Each structure stands twice: as C-alpha cells, then as structure tokens.
Amino acid sequence: PWPGEVEPETMRLMLVHETTDRRGAPRGLELAYATPRTWLRPHKWIEVRRLPTSFGRISFTIEAGESSASVSIEVPERAPLETLRLRLRLPGGKRIASLTLDGARYGRVLADGETIVLPTTPGPLQLEASLSG
C-alpha cells in the first residue's frame, strides 16, 4: 500500500506505536514496527515530523541505501520514556550486520536482526546501519 491509500490511524500505528504498562500508563515507543518492507528499498526513505505522543512530539527519518541505512531520531523531551525501539523492516531478507550510534559502535540489535533497542535520553540520535543479506 501507498500512504495515500492508508487510513490516518492505521498509518500512525505503522509508524509510531505507544506501549503501555498493565495499568494502561504510557511506557514507551516502537518506531516503524509495522511499515511495509517495500518502503525501505534502496534509495527510499520514511520521514515522520513532530508526531504527537504521550511523551511529546517525535520526529525520525530512515534512509535506505544498497548496503546501509541512516536513521535520525529526535527523542521527545516532555515525559521520560522507559523504552524506545526502532525496527528496520528491510526488503529481500536484509538484516543489520553492524550499527553505530552517534559515531560509536552500538550493539543493541535484537535476535531478529532488525529491531534496535535505543537509549531513551531526550534529544537527537544518529544511527548508521551496515546491512547484510
């Protein structure tokens, strides 16, 4: 599907999902968890600007290349996050081979090879992923 063919609430859930605790209180954010894999074909990108959440507005961009992906995230400052995760749903069986966060090696990729556990500190994050597959 293309963005114009998706209902706004469905689009929001594809891009940003808020997690809650057992009482229903906001706990964290899951970014790009349900995006179609075709959205991250080489030379494509996903961009979210100032989307309101329980934690404040979030912005992020994911740009896919042939063998890498670049991600910029502006972590919200209004309320503290307990968890923040990003999923790079890449086409063709590609997975994250290595990752840097703000220029330093970063190894918080889950066993699925596409989900990254991120720091919850407010402010900008810059990720560079080398891809395999």
DSSP element (H, E) containing 106: none
Using 50, 70 and 90 to split pLDDT, how confident is the model at 19? very high
Site of tokens 């896919």: 64
pLDDT tens readout for residues 66-90: 999 999 999 998 878 999 999 999 9
Burial group, residue 119, by CB count within 10 angstroms (0-12, 13-18, 19+): middle
Give the list of residues 6+ apart from residue 17 with CB closer than 8 angstroms, or none.
Answer: 29, 30, 33, 34
How far is the C-alpha of 25 from the C-alpha of 79, rounded, in Å?
Answer: 12
Question: Binning pLDDT at 50, 70 and 90, where does residue 37 land?
Answer: very high
% of the chain residues with pLDDT over 90:
85
Phi, psi of 50 (to 5 degrees): 50, 45
Mean pLDDT of 1-6: 58
pLDDT tier, 4 (very low <50, low <70, confident <90, very high otherwise): low
d(CA 38, CA 19): 25
Give the DSSP letter of residue 24. S
State the Cα–Cα distance between residues 20 and 36, nearest whole angstrom.
Answer: 24
pLDDT at 104: 97
Query: What confidence category does residue 3 fall into, taking pLDDT thresholds of 50, 70 and 90?
Result: low
| Three-class SS state of 68 | strand
